[in-house]
Amino acid sequence: MQEELEHRTVTLMVSSGKFTGKTLKSAMIHFLNYSKHKVQEHKDVVPHGKQTVKQLVGQNAGVENVEIGDDINLRSFNRIARKYGVDYAVKKVEKDGKPQFLVFFKSRDKDAITSAMKEYIDHFVEHGREERPSIHKMIAAFREMIKGMDKDRAVRREISR
């Protein structure tokens, strides 16, 4: 609650010999003009990295897209795209009842996105789902091992008594 109040509060300090309504009005006008200019400065900043399709198209750099299947790991793709400094946007689209991902990027980033996609594909093949063992199968194997250990433990108890 306190933090919300701090974000909404404005402190205005005015030095004057006589504080009147006119001085308050002129101080507020100066403050509002100053804040308008600050907002305009922030609007001119171009976003980098992951962004929305609307932001990417708004940069007027020509947008291209690459279609990727439904087995995309966005977190690892994001890491690789940041490494190559690619500005991109990901959009999920339903195609024939299956989700497809479209990766939009600027046309001037074509070489960088090609390198990033190659590295992503190499990473995906190296750490793909086929090589990872199923958690359910591992748990079932451990349960079988434990069942055998319980029988041995019961036999050992009998012998030690």
Q: Going residue by residue through the chain (161 aa), what tens digit of pLDDT does each one get?
A: 667 666 777 788 888 889 899 999 999 999 888 888 877 776 667 777 888 888 888 887 788 887 876 666 777 778 888 888 888 888 888 888 888 888 888 877 788 888 888 888 887 766 655 556 788 989 998 888 887 776 666 666 667 66
The two tokens of residue 103 are 């990766």
Residue 35 maps to a domain: yes
The two tokens of residue 73 are 């790991």
Residue 90 CB neighbour total at 10 angstroms:
19
Bridge partners (DSSP) of residue 94 are 99
Rounded Cα distance between 3 and 50, Å, is 29
Examine the domain organization and report whether 30 and 82 are in the same domain: no
The two tokens of residue 26 are 């002129």
pTM of the model: 0.49
Rounded Cα distance between 156 and 150, Å, is 10
Examine the domain organization and report whether 100 and 120 are in the same domain: yes
Strands 98-106 and 88-95: antiparallel
Residue 48 maps to a domain: no
Determine the pLDDT at residue 23.
Answer: 92
Examine the domain organization and report whether 65 and 121 are in the same domain: yes
**What angle separates helix 110-126 from helix 74-84, to the nearest 10 degrees?**
140
DSSP three-state, residue 95: strand
Determine the pLDDT at residue 111.
Answer: 85
The two tokens of residue 28 are 């507020």
The two tokens of residue 77 are 């793709």
The parent domain of residue 94 ranges over 53-126
Total number of domains constituting the chain: 3
At CB < 8 A and 24+ separation, what contacts does 125-132 make?
A: 129/71
Residue 91 maps to a domain: yes
Examine the domain organization and report whether 59 and 110 are in the same domain: yes
Determine the pLDDT at residue 79.
Answer: 85
Determine the pLDDT at residue 22.
Answer: 93
Is residue 86 within 8 A of residue 116, CB to CB? The reply is yes
Determine the pLDDT at residue 131.
Answer: 57
